[in-house]
Amino acid sequence: MAIWQREIITFLLLFFAVCVIGLFTKLFLPLLLVLMIFLLCRHLYQIHRFEKWLRMGRQNIYPKTTGVWEEIYYHVYRIRKNNKRRKKKLSKMVDQFRESTEALPDAAVVLNATDEIEWANKAARDVLGLKQSDKGQRIPNLIRFPEFIQYLKSKQYDEPVILPSPINNKITLAVRIIKYGAGLRLLLAQDVTQLKQMERMRKDFVANVSHELRTPLTVIKGYLETLQDVDEGMSPLLTNSLKNMLGQTDRMQYLVDGLLLLAHLETKSKKHEVINVPDLLMQICHEHEALLGDGRIELTLDSDAKLVGEEHELRSAFTNLLGNALKYSPEDTLIKLHWYQTSDALLLDVIDQGEGISVADISRVTERFYRVENKRDKKVNGTGLGLAIVKHVLMRHDAHLIIRSELGKGSCFQCTFPIQRLGE
Ligand code: ADP
């Protein structure tokens, strides 16, 4: 029988007994009053005991009692026990998590919404020089590199920022911030010294090899041109071979020059000069027109804005874009160049009505050596380095390249420079 049913039956039996005795003694109402006072006192006493038990916080035992109160004690006791078990499990998990993050080779620091350190692991102390006592300190007061402070303020944490370690400048760190919870951020710093060293070695290697290949190539080309001059066309095989060899040497020279330029773009410090872009574009267009002489280029200058940057690099990028537009579109189509300005950018559009690029290829054409294999009527020479050079040059000018293209209809290569680059 359920405990509540038993409680009600007991009450009904007592009430019945009072009714019977009351009938015989004619004292029904006083007896009923006594019964009510008794029941009320009993429950008040139980409530007092229960409140005392809760207040004392004793978890192992509960006072001996009967009826519905035993049931109430038992349920509360069970809930408390479960909570205790859960709390124990949770704190064990937190301890395990702390231990594992302590053992992480990467530095990890938890920052609150006001950039104060909430917690840091051992690696953070070793590699960032943080101390236990730094808890609660603002991180920009401890890691004072301007690029780090700017990164922290920017709230744009997609890419990591590369910094030397504050306690050992031979160590290079890739620092990244991850947002989580309500205003909390996790700062992770990974030691990328070896990676950066290998990258530098690769760049140096490519630059050195390209540089060393230049002289032998010039010599070979010189001899081939001399041989071509003395060839009297007696042997068609020899004439053809010399032509092919010269073609391949030219291609190799072009490739080596491209690689060397890319290596320079990756390593050279940036120069800041004011470039008259309209003049530069006019020069480039005239050079191509002089070479082709077919009036295919239409240049529209809607702005006389000058740009802060490096002329040699921009010349190379714009020449590549115009060269590609000419290479990859039919000879009877127009190439349009448009230089203009908006409230927040300076823009150059290079528009052609050529073969276009598929969506899948658009994201890849700026990779080194990537060439789209199209079934063209005539073979188009190239190295696959042109757009990689364009991308690098634009990156060095805080600009970006947007490619819009439709297969069979044409392409628009848009260079967008931030207005901050506007030169006086
Ligand atoms: P290259 O022209 O030497 O092959 P690029 O890096 O300049 O190398 O270009 C990469 C590829 O992108 C080219 O092989 C070509 O398929 C494609 N491409 C570049 N510009 C255009 C364009 N204006 N129209 C169509 N395809 C283009």
Q: Which of 24-33, 50-59, 322-331 has the lowest mean pLDDT?
A: 50-59
Q: How many alpha carbons fall within 13 Å on the CB side of residue 16?
A: 6
Q: Which residues contact 304 (CB under 8 A, 6 or more apart)?
A: 278
Q: 384: Cβ below 6 Å to ligand 1? A: yes
Quick one: pLDDT band at residue 6, thresholds 50, 70, 90? confident
Contacts with 334 (C-beta within 8 Å, 6 or more apart), sequence order:
296, 297, 298, 353
Q: Which long-range contacts (CB under 8 A, 24 or more apart) does 330-335 make?
A: 330/354, 331/294, 331/296, 333/296, 333/410, 334/296, 334/297, 334/298, 335/296, 335/297, 335/298
Task: Report domain 195-267's class.
Answer: mainly alpha
Residue 110 CB neighbours (<10 A): 19
HEC string of 70-91 equals: HHHHHHHHHHHHHHHHHHHHHH
- Is residue 309 within 6 Å of ligand 1 at its C-beta? no
User: Which CATH code is given to the segment(s) 273-423?
Assistant: 3.30.565.10
Proportion of the chain above pLDDT 90, given as a percent: 72
Mean pLDDT estimate for the chain: 91
pLDDT digits (tens, 9 = 90+) for 364-419: 999 999 999 877 767 788 889 999 999 999 999 999 999 999 999 999 999 999 99
Task: Write down the pLDDT at residue 201.
Answer: 92
- Token digits of residue 235: 């042997």
372 Cβ closer than 6 Å to some ligand 1 atom? yes
CB 371 within 8 A of CB 357: no
- What distance in angstroms lies between residue 381's CA and the mean position of ligand 1's atoms? 10
Token pair, residue 85, equals: 């078990």
| The model scores a pTM over 0.75 | no
Query: In 3D, which of 422, 101, 393, 143 has the Cα closest to residue 266?
Result: 393
**Non-local CB neighbours of 284 within 8 Å, separated by 6+ positions:** 315, 318, 319, 322
Strands 297-301 and 335-341, how do they pair? parallel
Which run of H or of E encompasses 146?
helix 146-154
Q: For a pocket test of ligand 1, which of 255, 288, 324 has the largest count of ligand atoms closer than 8 A to its C-beta?
A: 324
Ranges of each domain in the chain: 3-95, 104-191, 195-267, 273-423
Q: What is the pLDDT of residues 215-236, one digit of tens each?
A: 999 999 999 999 999 888 888 8
Residue nearest atom 7 of ligand 1, based on CA coordinates: 386
Q: For tokens 């073979």, what's the residue?
A: 379
Please enumerate in sequence order all residues whose Cβ is within 8 A of that of 259, keeping only pairs 6 or more positions apart, or say none. Answer: 206, 207, 210, 385
Q: For residue 138, what is the DSSP state?
A: B
Strand order in the sheet with 161-164: 117-120, 107-111, 184-191, 172-180, 161-164
CATH topology of domain 104-191: Beta-Lactamase (3.30.450)
Beta-bridge mates of residue 336: 298, 351
pLDDT digits (tens, 9 = 90+) for 246-263: 999 999 999 999 999 998
